[in-house]
Amino acid sequence: MFKGKNAVGKTNLLEAISFLSPGTGFRKDVIQNFIFQKQEKLKASITFDFNHEDLDNHLTILMGSKDERWSKQYFLNDKKIQQQKLLDIFQLFWFTEIDKVYFIKDAQYQRNTINRIICYFDPKLFGFLSRYTILRREKRRILQSSQDFSWLVSLDKQLFDIGRAIIEIKKKFLSEYQTFVSDSNKLFFDFEINPSFGLLQTESFLEKFRKDLSDENQKPYDHKLQSQYDPKKSVFEITHNQKNISQLSSAQSKMLILSLLLSCAKFLNRKKITIFLIDEIFDNFDMINIEKVIQYCAENKFQTFFSTTDNFSLQGKIDNLEIKEIY
């Protein structure tokens, strides 16, 4: 646990760790801003040494520029690897006050969070989602520049096949996760899972998806699918006592999201290093819930990093908790 006043660098430490996840860390900033832009040849790197049960890994994440393009590269035990390979070794979860706001107000943010979690369940989903996005861009480009219907038919088939694969992975995750949740009597905060239409009536959903793919070829000035029939957007929602997240108090909504993330981390805690980053979320929590969160992470052997400006004293005994004052 990192404790200290505001603006001493606690969140920067957590953000550096968040680069273990593909992408630009939990602040979602553009990669150019991580390095002083006037020094084009400057490279920044973060190095981690992991010793976890039978896993012993040395990982370096290098950020720099090449041919005026910024990039992020991974080197595991001094060998360059693709970022998708990290999903076979690590699973990284995080929760911040900003995440709470986005999760409540932005449906796309909710979907992206759940998709990222399912990628830890089956790393093939990461490749399918990336390929799907590339094909959608390619189709939009063709619709805007030409009417090559033979190529559009080929793209639609690829999109449909990948869309079905995405849905099937999500359904498998949902089935196993629902069983896990129903069998678990120790959720941090109770919630219900409400699957989307695509996960409940898959064949009907896919037929509507196929029809939308075909229909958009007739509308060259409208290059977006109907959102409810997009496999990338087909996930689930969570509620508490049948109330959706926007109907709950600030403390309840925070506990609901955290409960989802903690239970998913426990469900997916299989032969991987599980890392949890929790940044400044103890506001609105009483000491009982603060200790409950920390104890949950300790009992499930997550490598967890907390940051807080609160000067509270933990009353209960929590094994392996190290508190560092940051000045």
Residue pLDDT, tens place only, 232-263: 999 999 999 999 999 999 889 999 999 999 99
Give the pLDDT of residue 142: 84
- For residues 38 and 250, which has the higher predicted lDDT (pLDDT)? 250
CATH number, domain with residue 59: 3.40.50
Domain extent for 135: 2-325
Q: How confident is the model at residue 31 (pLDDT cuts 50, 70, 90)?
A: low
Q: How confident is the model at residue 117 (pLDDT cuts 50, 70, 90)?
A: very high
Rg value, the chain, Cα: 22
- Please say if the pLDDT value at position 175 is more than 70: yes
Give the pLDDT of residue 167: 98
Per-range mean pLDDT, top range of 45-59, 72-86, 166-180, 306-320: 166-180
Average pLDDT over residues 298-314: 84
Q: What is the mean pLDDT of the chain?
A: 85
- Please say if the pLDDT value at position 88 is more than 90: no
Per-range mean pLDDT, top range of 24-33, 88-97, 189-198, 313-322: 189-198
Q: How confident is the model at residue 134 (pLDDT cuts 50, 70, 90)?
A: very high
Give the pLDDT of residue 144: 78
Average pLDDT over residues 293-298: 89
Quote the number of domains for the chain: 1
